[in-house]
């Protein structure tokens, strides 16, 4: 079980309370679950969402998480769409792996990354 006490999130893609599934191709606003927790954790490791509008690591993607993801994308020169796909996921995962290697394995299967796709572990 991860920090949220989730053994594995389920797919409930409907409306704003959608759960981010294991191996999902993206994570975005309105989702919740382990993948969102990992995005939030990585954002904080990067240093975004730690001052002013603090991003909580609660596994619920709200306005503060969305704003921090968009800021990360802007700084990285990526398309600013607020969606964590492979490119944004790579940046977030590298931050987790660098700062907290023990947490990286726990989050690897939940954050979309290019490396996971190339290794055949989902989209």
Question: pLDDT, tens digit, for every residue of 6-34?
Answer: 233 332 223 334 555 455 578 999 999 98
Rounded alpha-carbon distances, angstroms, from residue 92 to 32, 37, 41, 58, 114: 17, 12, 9, 17, 12
- Residue 108 burial by Cβ neighbours in a 10 Å radius (0-12, 13-18, 19+): middle
Q: In the structure, what pLDDT confidence band is assigned to residue 73 with cuts at 50, 70 and 90? A: very high
**Residue 35 half-sphere exposure, CB side, CA atoms within 13 Å?**
28
pLDDT at 65 over 60: yes
Q: Is the pTM of this model over 0.75?
A: no
pLDDT at 75 over 90: yes
The average confidence (pLDDT) of the chain is 74
Question: What is the C-alpha radius of gyration for the chain, rounded to an integer number of angstroms?
Answer: 13
């Amino acid at each position: 079980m991860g920090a949220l006490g989730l053994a594995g999130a389920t797919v409930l893609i409907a409306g704003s309370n959608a759960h981010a599934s294991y191996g999902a191709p993206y994570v975005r606003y309105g989702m919740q679950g382990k993948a969102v927790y990992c995005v939030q954790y990585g954002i904080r490791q990067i240093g975004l969402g730690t001052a002013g509008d603090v991003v909580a690591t609660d596994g619920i993607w709200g306005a503060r998480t969305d704003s921090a993801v968009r800021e990360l994308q802007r700084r990285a020169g990526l398309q600013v769409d607020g969606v964590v796909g492979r490119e944004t996921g790579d940046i977030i995962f590298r931050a987790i792996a660098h700062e907290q290697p023990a947490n990286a394995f726990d989050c690897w299967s939940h954050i979309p990354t290019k490396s996971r796709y190339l290794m055949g572990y989902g989209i």
